[in-house]
Amino acid sequence: MAANYLPYEPQQMMLLPESLQEWLPEGHLAHFISDAIDGPDLGAFHARYDKDGPRNQPFHPAMMVKVLVYGYATGCFSSRKIARKLHEDVAFRVLAARNFPAHRTIRDFRAFHLKELSDLFVQVVRLAREMGLVKLGTIAVDGTKAKAKANASRHKAMSYGHMRKAEAELKAQIEALLAKARAADEAEKNEPELDIPAEIARRQDRLDAIAAARARLEQRQREADLERGRSDDDDQKPRGQDGKPKGGRYKRAFGVPQDKDQDNFTDPDSRIMQRAGGGFDPAYNAQTAIDDTAHIIVAAELINNASDVRELPTMVTAVKATLGAYPEQTLADAGYRSEAVFAALAGCTDLVVAIGREGKGHRAINAHTLPLTAAMATKMKTQEAREAYRRRKWLAEPPNGWIKNVLGFRQFSMRGLHRVQAEWKLVCMALNLRRMATMQTA
């Protein structure tokens, strides 16, 4: 007997149109993101287009934001891939409601609305608080560089020492080409055909790029030397607060980088940072503050300095600016330990900050010169502080792991510090919405 299959008619046409919302099951992430984006005030996005008048017909900002956020929430970060998904993926088609912006339109929308997307992160955190998913009892602050790789090639970077050699070589090549251009026509007949002006221009462009990169490194070094108390007239001799030499000698002149210091040509704002497992990459230092209620990221900042030591006050202040209150307790590892940090946050939140690396000791602390650090070291010996600090990994590390392994985010799409800062908040907002949708249906 022949099998009795369910009807299968690929060419069957619909007599009545279907509702787009019915294409996805109830509780789908796309529905949640659509509702969540409809809630906040998107007036800042509309303001850019209001001045163009009624003749201009851009894509609706709410639709563009929903598509962009859903793309990041599902691991689709490329504008080209998002544009393709609008034709191939049901969830994207539901959110776009039969709109098909080109990849350039999506790319430009993201680039033009960096501030607005950053502000939207704040509104999503406040929505999470209204849903009861943020309590500000305890937060954990952590930094990650492995997930914050810059959109820059390691092969497009050059060390300070190599820059000086390359500049000398390029100048010699330019001089040789200029000499060749001045040679007699008879002598040139026997030479291979060469577009000398183009060759000179190409080398000059390269020379200018190297000179600009060298200037950036030297300016960065001057700023670092000033922070260490040096001055441009110190004759490489360390001086005390009274201005008198105190013995010894600096190895480098003021403002001169080490030969191994590097700058990247594709994204000059990035910095060479060590990656997990060994090796180095151009990267940024992404910071997150995680609330202990539902692992919601309540603050997301990003810097181009590998050190975390100054960022704890920034993160705690960002939480206060977003939610109107300081967290009751803040957990952080030894990378944030600093006398200045403890002074800045005194009375704001109950700080629990490790003094040494986990499982290892630390140097003796002078209670006279570092009284707040000594007090924190004493506090960390108490059972209460140790139990609180044990929760830090449980709080801080899962969201960083989700960003890498659930969203699949391993490298920024944008370049430049302020653009990457906005994209980091977009990534964290997308993760928050995924988490909020999961907790709502749990």
Residue 402's contacts (CB-CB under 8 Å, 6 or more residues apart) are 431, 434, 435
For residues 363 and 279, membership in a common domain is answered with: yes
- Indicate the pTM of the whole model: 0.79
Distance from C-alpha of 320 to C-alpha of 346, rounded to nearest angstrom: 15
Phi, psi of 15 (to 5 degrees): -75, -35
In a domain, residue 346? The reply is: yes
pLDDT tens-digit map of 165-201: 766 776 676 677 667 666 644 555 555 555 667 766 7
Q: Given a cut of 60, is residue 392 above it in pLDDT?
A: yes
In a domain, residue 429? The reply is: no
pLDDT computed for residue 345 by the predictor: 93
pLDDT computed for residue 96 by the predictor: 93
For residues 305 and 254, membership in a common domain is answered with: no
- The H-or-E segment that residue 36 falls in is helix 29-38
pLDDT tens-digit map of 69-82: 999 999 999 999 99
For residues 279 and 340, membership in a common domain is answered with: yes
pLDDT computed for residue 330 by the predictor: 95
pLDDT computed for residue 436 by the predictor: 94
Query: Which residue would you say has higher pLDDT here, 229 or 375?
Result: 375
In a domain, residue 314? The reply is: yes
Q: Given a cut of 90, is residue 106 above it in pLDDT?
A: yes
Mean pLDDT, to the nearest integer, of 378-405?
91
For residues 384 and 240, membership in a common domain is answered with: no
In a domain, residue 438? The reply is: no
In a domain, residue 178? The reply is: yes
Residue 70's contacts (CB-CB under 8 Å, 6 or more residues apart) are 29, 30, 33, 91, 92, 95, 430
Distance from C-alpha of 253 to C-alpha of 162, rounded to nearest angstrom: 18
For residues 173 and 207, membership in a common domain is answered with: yes
**Chain centroid, CA 350 distance in Å:** 28
In a domain, residue 121? The reply is: no
How far from 56 is each of 52, 112, 173, CA to CA, in Å?
6, 17, 53
pLDDT tens-digit map of 150-167: 665 565 666 666 667 766
For residues 278 and 396, membership in a common domain is answered with: yes
For residues 201 and 258, membership in a common domain is answered with: yes
Cβ distance 400 to 142 under 8 Å?
A: yes
Counted domains in the chain:
3
For residues 281 and 388, membership in a common domain is answered with: yes
Mean pLDDT, to the nearest integer, of 354-376?
80
Domain end, chosen from 223, 241, 264, is at 264
pLDDT computed for residue 55 by the predictor: 60
pLDDT tens-digit map of 283-331: 889 999 999 999 999 999 999 888 888 899 999 999 999 999 999 999 9
For residues 107 and 48, membership in a common domain is answered with: yes
Per DSSP bridges, beta strands 329-332 and 350-353 are: parallel
Range of the domain at 282: 135-152+271-420
Residues linked to residue 125 through DSSP beta bridges, in sequence order: none
Q: Given a cut of 60, is residue 341 above it in pLDDT?
A: yes
Query: Which residue would you say has higher pLDDT here, 213 or 26?
Result: 26
pLDDT computed for residue 190 by the predictor: 56
In a domain, residue 28? The reply is: yes
Percent of the chain having pLDDT more than 90?
Answer: 42
Q: What mean pLDDT value characterizes the chain?
A: 82
Domain end, chosen from 264, 279, 307, is at 264
For residues 140 and 164, membership in a common domain is answered with: no
In a domain, residue 9? The reply is: no
Residue 278: which pLDDT band, with cuts at 50, 70 and 90?
A: low
For residues 61 and 166, membership in a common domain is answered with: no
Three-class secondary structure of residue 134 per DSSP: coil
Mean pLDDT, to the nearest integer, of 105-133?
93
pLDDT computed for residue 296 by the predictor: 95
pLDDT computed for residue 147 by the predictor: 47
For residues 321 and 255, membership in a common domain is answered with: no
pLDDT computed for residue 416 by the predictor: 86
Mean pLDDT, to the nearest integer, of 121-127?
94
